[in-house]
């Protein structure tokens, strides 16, 4: 997570610009819009998060991801949101795709198959965000199931990642903004890990509650707050990113002041 920490400090930003490219009459060509959004928001972005599904749905998706990697400044992490999760030898191939073919600086991983699904991605210098408590609200959520040993499945995921960080410090968690109580709970459980936090904006997550519950009390960092549609659909993506960054930073200042 060193690259992410450096970028967050240098840019004074916790904003992650989600890239879920879709065709529209308003924006026309997806490639041109992607390049425009990157150019307009790079100054404010602590990271970019392209959603793999939106690229694979296109005939030129892999090549477009490779071009996107070239547009993103080298000092801004690109997190490939693939939610990869398979047995070790297959996970190694996914890791090769993400890092060697696309050039991503990090990924998202589904831990359902255990650490075999996680560790192939834990290369030195890469960031791996493991699903713990996601932003969707299913009727039957496995993540919320209580374990006989205590806690929930999401707690267990967080605990496993916390343990693995002793040997693999590039690991973090995906924790949704739609449940600030759960976010705060996992922050208490994992006080120093970086969290990738989707769900602010269109999914209903509250920005103030996210910062309050998720930021590390020690330095005001630790949360990479993802926003996709609010920036992609904005008339001026740069202005939208600037405004969100300013809002986050004001809330961070309040959070740090309250912790003193």
Intra-chain end-to-end CA distance of the chain, in Å = 26
- Selected catalytic residue, list 83, 126, 133, 137: 83
Segments in 117-236 forming alpha helices (H): 153-164, 180-189, 207-214, 229-232
Segments in the chain forming alpha helices (H): 2-11, 30-41, 52-56, 61-71, 88-95, 153-164, 180-189, 207-214, 229-232, 237-259
Q: Is 49 a catalytic residue?
A: no
Contacts of 219 (CB under 8 A, 6+ apart): none
Give the pair of three-digit tokens for residue 260: 């003193």
Tell me which DSSP letter residue 167 carries. T
Provide the sign of the torsion angle of the four alpha carbons 239, 221, 114, 119, taken in this order.
positive
CB atoms < 10 A from the CB of 41, how many?
A: 26
User: Any idea which residues carry the catalytic annotation?
Assistant: 83
């Amino acid at each position: 997570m060193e690259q992410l920490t450096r970028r967050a400090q240098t840019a004074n930003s916790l904003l992650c610009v989600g890239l879920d490219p879709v065709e529209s009459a308003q924006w026309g060509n997806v490639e041109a819009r992607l390049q425009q959004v990157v150019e307009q928001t790079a100054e404010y972005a602590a990271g970019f998060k392209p959603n793999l599904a939106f690229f694979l749905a296109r005939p030129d998706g892999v090549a477009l991801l490779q071009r996107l990697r070239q547009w993103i400044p080298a000092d801004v992490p690109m997190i490939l949101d693939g939610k990869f999760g398979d047995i070790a030898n297959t996970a190694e191939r996914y890791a090769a795709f993400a890092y060697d073919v696309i050039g991503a600086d990090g990924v998202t991983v589904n831990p359902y198959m255990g650490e075999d699904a996680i560790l192939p991605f834990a290369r030195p210098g890469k960031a791996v965000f493991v699903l713990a408590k996601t932003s969707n609200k299913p009727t039957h959520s496995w993540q919320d199931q209580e374990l006989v040993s205590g806690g929930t499945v999401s707690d267990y995921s967080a605990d496993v990642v916390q343990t693995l960080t002793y040997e693999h410090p590039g690991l973090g968690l995906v924790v949704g903004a739609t449940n600030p109580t759960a976010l705060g709970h996992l922050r208490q459980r994992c006080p120093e890990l970086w969290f990738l936090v989707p769900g602010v904006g269109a999914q209903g997550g509250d920005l103030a509650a996210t910062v309050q519950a998720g930021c590390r009390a020690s330095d005001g960092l630790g949360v990479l707050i993802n926003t996709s549609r609010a920036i992609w659909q904005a008339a001026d993506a740069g202005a939208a990113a600037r405004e969100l960054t300013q809002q986050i930073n004001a809330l961070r200042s309040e959070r740090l002041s309250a912790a003193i």
